[in-house]
Structure 1
């Protein structure tokens, strides 16, 4: 076990035993992220007490790492003056995230207590939607003029009071418009000292505008393996940059959001323990599924009216398997397409290829499962005395399962594409919609094949 884990165990022991006086010395040995993790998992009644044990110099870093619910609880216990002292020491983007969760009146009071330079930076960020490039960027960046020489740029960068290490600088023109970027080691080369940055800089720059969705930001950073992205306004002026830590946070948030949406829930369930809140989050999609269940019951009743009692009994025994296999196949297909949409690989020109792939995969899986299921019906169920002859029973259930799975694979792929074209988040609706619809369609297919086989037999 690492030293960090040992320290965490000791702190958790002290929390349980209310040995508060021993905790500060352990906090001194931990990274702010580790301290935040401890507070996040501590009893809610101890949030404020644990936070107050921290030194003033580390409070901003810990606050930035806390879960939203824990952060909100701690802020509720602090005065406006205490909050302003903390956020002044935070990175502007982190400070904007903290203040963005407060009520407008309290936010303005805190901004008024801050130094003018810091408050202006935070105000600038607060004007952007929190899930856009502008909302997650930091205004802290290094920009050098294109007409500078490498020697002049090196002296300029050396004169700056930087809080974070810098590995490259952005090159701008006289109006602040981005023209390129340059790595610091290029500036330090002896042969480059008298050359202008306009000649040395890389002009191929991947950038985003302030209103770009954070998901697009994460996609670009992943595609081009970037550690940071410059952010431009609509005049092409450089106004900020998005760093790797923020990009990683976006990736985690988007992945978590999609997982919750696929389950018909939301991330807010992680922040609240109320069963009522959990029910409120999950119930709408369950009610939609229940509604489609009504249609399934009506279909079953309608079909049974046209079947003899003996036929209805033996055929009804296979319904759960047909529904389950069709539903699972549809979810598999829709999940792959949703992932492609999220990663930007499911472009319009790729849709025919994707559908052909799913048709083929569905047909192969359906054929294999249909044959296995048909043989089961023939040799296991067929041994019993049934009104439906074993060969016809095997052919019916095997064909129905093949058809249901092949159709479900295509349907599961098509639905996310259509929802995305309609500007509806496919991760929200695809899971419940595909599962529920596949149940109805699988029943239609199953009994359609059944009546066809009965008519052929007769």
Structure 2
């Protein structure tokens, strides 16, 4: 976020009377700062800024703006200036931006761009946005395996300025198939006359063009790499995905999982962009279903009203017996869902994770149960009440942690997104279970 003094400095810059002074002032500002302030300006000022900054900075600013802010700005800039700005972007960023525009406007802009660049962007637009093909950029550094290190460095000097990253140099054969990779450091320290095939690594971590974006993110995180090559069925190199693109994916996936954990099934984490009718429609089925579940928990209490009448002090602890296990279940659920999403919980670790969560539940249950039992005894001077309350809480928390860790695992095995095993669902289930345990034990030990 911009500091107040930084905001004032930028506004002062934008109020320059001379175009030359404004252009020089904008040159010294960071694109991210301009992009943050731009939506707060009047449309004529926004257009003025985007016309005066150089095309490279304008492309950085444009890509950081929200999609709802683009149509009026692009209309004001005109097709020619917009095409010039989009042409400065890497192909993956340009495809993302153009993919948000109406078909007619997109085709006009592509028609004004250089033929080769427009064709690359059209190719990327054919892939699903949530696949490796939808994420990849076509600006990368590749050399043939039968050239020398000195020749490769000369090629690098020519094409590196246009590449998205030069940390890795990919090696291809005569059929454009990916056969190896060299780091920039390995290339620089190699003897000039050394053949590339003699120093390249042949075990290349790559992804298929149709691989899901979440799997790409997991792979890059697992192997700690800054970029991953994208290949087709014939192992031909099509493009690369860089770490900054994967960071965006991880944010999207985390947002989606958090929305689902909250009982919301908005697919892309775009809840705030939907109408209130749509948002309510997404939530109502869950909330109505959970409402009937809570009524079932109330029915358990009603059916054991005789027990409640015999010892009215039991009513005081209902909220603790309902809330505590639900919170414990949600904690276990969050840990396991996150582990499944990041790949930390693999198939061969599932039983181990469930057992560890069960052990946590045992410890937490004993401590919380003992504490509540002591409080009940001090308040009512009743050993039997303390035993019922404490034992009920301890058993309920153990069951809650087991359910919280097992339900998402079971859903994952069934091919269902484990994030759908939402916190409200588990909490409602535990309300019913804990009330049955609580009043069951009270009926057994008090009556």
What TM-score does the superposition give when structure 2 sets the normalisation length?
0.89
Q: Which residue is 2:384 aligned to?
A: 392
Measure the CA separation in 1 of the matches of 2:34 and 2:347.
46
Measure the CA separation in 1 of the matches of 2:181 and 2:375.
66
SS in 2 for 1:148: coil
Deviations along 1:243-280, one digit per CA (max 9) or x if unpaired, are 122122222222233223322345324447x6556545
Deviations along 1:13-33, one digit per CA (max 9) or x if unpaired, are 899xxx696987654332112
Q: Which residue is 1:329 aligned to?
A: 328
Q: 1:269 to 1:35 in 2, by over 3 A?
A: farther
Deviations along 1:56-89, one digit per CA (max 9) or x if unpaired, are 5122111111233334564466654454333222
Q: 1:418 to 1:308 in 2, by over 3 A?
A: closer
Q: Which residue is 1:297 aligned to?
A: 298
Q: 1:324 to 1:224 in 2, by over 3 A?
A: same
Q: Which residue is 1:98 aligned to?
A: 97
Question: Are 1:176 and 2:172 an aligned pair?
Answer: no
Question: Are 1:268 and 2:274 an aligned pair?
Answer: no
Deviations along 1:206-232, one digit per CA (max 9) or x if unpaired, are 111111122222222222221111111
Q: Which residue is 1:223 aligned to?
A: 222
SS in 1 for 2:307: coil
Measure the CA separation in 1 of the matches of 2:318 and 2:44.
56
Deviates more, 1:102-111 or 1:332-341: 102-111
1:379-458 equivalent positions in 2, closer than 5 A: 379-380=378-379, 382-383=380-381, 390-454=382-446, 458=447
Question: Are 1:133 and 2:132 an aligned pair?
Answer: yes
Measure the CA separation in 2 of the matches of 1:353 and 1:48.
61
1:418 positional shift? 1.6
Question: Are 1:68 and 2:60 an aligned pair?
Answer: no
Measure the CA separation in 1 of the matches of 2:67 and 2:315.
50
Deviates more, 1:106-115 or 1:173-182: 106-115
What TM-score does the superposition give when structure 1 sets the normalisation length?
0.87
Structure 1 portions without partners, runs of 5+:
384-389
Given that residues 322 and 401 in structure 1 are in contact (C-alpha distance below 8 angstroms), is that contact kept between their aligned partners in structure 2? yes
Given that residues 230 and 241 in structure 1 are in contact (C-alpha distance below 8 angstroms), is that contact kept between their aligned partners in structure 2? yes
1:53 positional shift? 1.6
Structure 2 portions without partners, runs of 5+:
none
Q: Which residue is 2:35 aligned to?
A: 36
Q: 1:197 to 1:352 in 2, by over 3 A?
A: same
SS in 2 for 1:307: helix
Deviations along 1:185-226, one digit per CA (max 9) or x if unpaired, are 43334x622222111101222111111122222222222221
Measure the CA separation in 2 of the matches of 1:196 and 1:451.
83
SS in 2 for 1:239: strand
Given that residues 47 and 76 in structure 2 are in contact (C-alpha distance below 8 angstroms), is that contact kept between their aligned partners in structure 1? no
Deviations along 1:275-326, one digit per CA (max 9) or x if unpaired, are 556545544443333232222222222222x436243x32222111111101
1:308-319 equivalent positions in 2, closer than 5 A: 309-311=309-311, 313-319=312-318
Q: 1:6 to 1:422 in 2, by over 3 A?
A: same
Given that residues 7 and 26 in structure 1 are in contact (C-alpha distance below 8 angstroms), is that contact kept between their aligned partners in structure 2? no
1:153 positional shift? 1.7
Q: Which residue is 1:196 aligned to?
A: 195
Deviates more, 1:361-370 or 1:150-159: 150-159
Q: 1:361 to 1:169 in 2, by over 3 A?
A: same
Measure the CA separation in 1 of the matches of 2:431 and 2:23.
58
What RMSD over aligned residues (CA atoms) do the two structures have, in Å? Answer: 2.8
Measure the CA separation in 2 of the matches of 1:49 and 1:268.
29
1:117 positional shift? 0.9
Given that residues 145 and 171 in structure 1 are in contact (C-alpha distance below 8 angstroms), is that contact kept between their aligned partners in structure 2? yes
Q: 1:122 to 1:442 in 2, by over 3 A?
A: same
Measure the CA separation in 2 of the matches of 1:24 and 1:47.
18
